[in-house]
Amino acid sequence: MGKKKLTNGEISALCIELALLLHAGLGIGDGVHSLKEDADTETAELLSALSEQLDNGEPLSVAMRASGVFPEDVCSLAEVGERSGRTEEALRALSDSYEAKQNLADRIRTALLYPAVLLLLMLIVIGVLLTKVLPVFNEVFASLGGELQGLAGGLLKLGLAMDSAMPVLLVILAALAVALAAFAASAAFREKLAKYWRTRHGSKGISLKVTMARFAQALAMGIRSGLPVEESLQMASSFHGDNAVIASRCRDASSRLAQGCGLAESLRDAGVLPGIYCRMLALGVRSGTADTVIAEIARRLEDESERAIEARVAQVEPTLVIVTSILVGVILLSVMLPLMNIMAAIG
C-alpha cells in the first residue's frame, strides 16, 4: 500500500463512518470489515491494512499510525478516545474538524484562484497590446510621415524590449500557469503555500482569523474527545508551531491556565481568541457545556474567516478589472488620439 496521505475530506468521511458503526453497536474491527466490502480499490487497501492490525489485537490508534497515511493529530485523538472510553465522540470530533478544514481550504482555493487567473489573462492582453498592436500603429504613423512620441513612444519602446525578451517572458508565463495549475489541483502544494504565508503573515488580518478558527476547532476536538482542558490546549497549540506569534500566545495561555486562571480568561488575556468569544466560553464552562460552546465558537470563527476572504476577493476582482481596463485604455488612447489628429490634418 502506498503512503499517500489522506485528504481532509477522506479523513472526515472515514471517521464519521466509523463513528456511525460504533453508534450502531458494531465493534471497531467489525466496522472496518463492513466498510471494506463497498470501498474502492485504494480505500479497500487502507481498510485491509487497518483490519489486519485490529485482528492482531491492536487498538485503532495504533493501526492508524502503522498505516502511515493519517496525520498525527488523528492518531492522537483516537488514542485519547480509547483511553477515555469515548472513541465514538473522538471520531465524530475528528470528522467535524476535518470537514471544516476541507470546507475552508476549498473556499480559499476558489477565492484565490479566480483573481489569479484573471490577473494572468490581463497581463497577457496588455503584453499583446504592447508587443504586437503598438508596432502596427507605429507602421501606420510611419506611412503617414509621423512617429509615436511621448507616452505612446515610451510604450512602444517598452513593447519592443518585451518582444526581444519574449522567450524569457514566455518561460515566466508558463511557470505562473504551472503554479496556478498546481495550486488548483494539489492540496499538498496549497498547504505548503499556506504554511509559508502563516509563518510570515499569520498574526494579522485574514490570516489571524483563519488561525483562530483552526485553533478553536482543534480545542473543540480535544475537549469533545475526552481530553482534559490543559492537554486539549497543548494539543491545539501544537498545530501552530509554524507561526511564532500565535505559538507564543498559545504558550502564554497554557502558562496562565497552569497558574490557576480559567480557560476563557487565559485565552482572552493571551490574545488567542477575541474577548466576545471568551465570554461565551466562560458561560459554557460555568454551565458545564464547554465542549458545545467551543464548537460553536469554532463554527462562528470559521464563518467570520470565510466572510473576510469573500470580502477581500470582492475588493480585489473589481480593482483588477478597473486597473487593467485603465491601462488598456491609456495604451489605446495614447496611439489613437495622435492618429486622429494626423487624419484630421490630412483631411
- pLDDT 10s digits, 19-74: 898 888 888 888 888 887 777 777 888 888 888 888 888 888 898 988 888 888 78
pLDDT at 203 over 70: no
Query: Residue 342: its pLDDT value, please?
Result: 67
The residue among 80 and 284 whose pLDDT is bigger is: 284
The predicted structure's pLDDT at residue 8: 84
Contacts of 283 (CB under 8 A, 6+ apart): 293
Taking residues 172-192, report their average pLDDT.
78
Please tell me the predicted confidence (pLDDT) of residue 160.
85
- Note the helical H segments in the chain: 8-23, 28-37, 41-55, 60-67, 72-84, 87-128, 134-143, 150-164, 166-185, 187-201, 205-224, 229-238, 244-258, 263-270, 275-287, 290-346
Is the confidence at residue 345, as pLDDT, over 70?
no
Burial zone of 345 (CB within 10 Å; 0-12 exposed, 13-18 middle, 19+ buried): exposed
The pLDDT confidence band at residue 343, using thresholds 50, 70 and 90, is: low
Query: Does 268 score more than 80 pLDDT?
Result: yes
Give residue-wise pLDDT tens across range 269-321.
988 888 888 999 899 888 888 888 888 888 888 888 878 877 877 777 788 78
User: How confident is the model over 205-246, as pLDDT tens digits?
Assistant: 777 787 788 788 878 877 877 778 888 887 777 766 566 777
pLDDT tens-digit readout, 125-181: 888 888 888 888 778 777 776 677 777 788 888 888 888 888 888 888 888 888 878
Burial 200-238 (b: 16+ CB within 10 A, else e): eebbeebbbbbbbbbbbbbbbbbbbbbbebeebbbbbbe
Note the pTM of the prediction, 2 decimals. 0.68
Neighbours of 106 (CB within 10 A): 13
Q: Please tell me the predicted confidence (pLDDT) of residue 2.
A: 46
pLDDT at 198: 65
pLDDT of 344 reads: 66
Residue 1: predicted pLDDT = 41
DSSP 133: I
* Whole-angstrom distance, CA of residue 329 vs CA of residue 110: 29
Q: Is the pLDDT of residue 15 over 50?
A: yes
Look at residue 5 in the predicted model and tell me its pLDDT.
Answer: 76
The yes-or-no verdict on residue 258 having pLDDT over 70 is: yes
Considering only residues 261 and 84, tell me which one the structure prediction assigns the higher pLDDT. 261
